[in-house]
């Protein structure tokens, strides 16, 4: 199990690094837009992301 967790973390870091590597200006604009969001909007985005991940895991492991 720990091995799979480390693999998942490594893949997450790879995927998160792709966008700044390919288009740093786009990432700067996206982060500036995120900075303008309210706390409730950020929480909703985080909740949506977590629920989507849980649903995806459920579908994959079904």
Q: Which carries the bigger pLDDT value, residue 2 or residue 28?
A: 28
- What integer is the mean pLDDT of 35-44? 97
Mean pLDDT of 40-58: 97
- Average pLDDT value for residue range 23-31: 97
User: pTM of the full predicted structure?
Assistant: 0.74
Which residue has tokens 């837009």? Answer: 33
- Using CA atoms of 59, 54, 41, 23 in order, give the dihedral in degrees to the nearest 10: -70
């Amino acid at each position: 199990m720990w091995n799979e967790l480390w693999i998942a973390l490594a893949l997450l870091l790879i995927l998160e690094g792709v966008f700044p590597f390919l288009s740093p200006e786009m990432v700067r604009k996206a982060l500036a837009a995120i900075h303008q969001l309210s706390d409730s909007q950020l929480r909703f985005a985080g909740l949506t992301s977590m629920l989507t991940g849980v649903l995806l895991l459920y579908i994959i492991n079904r």
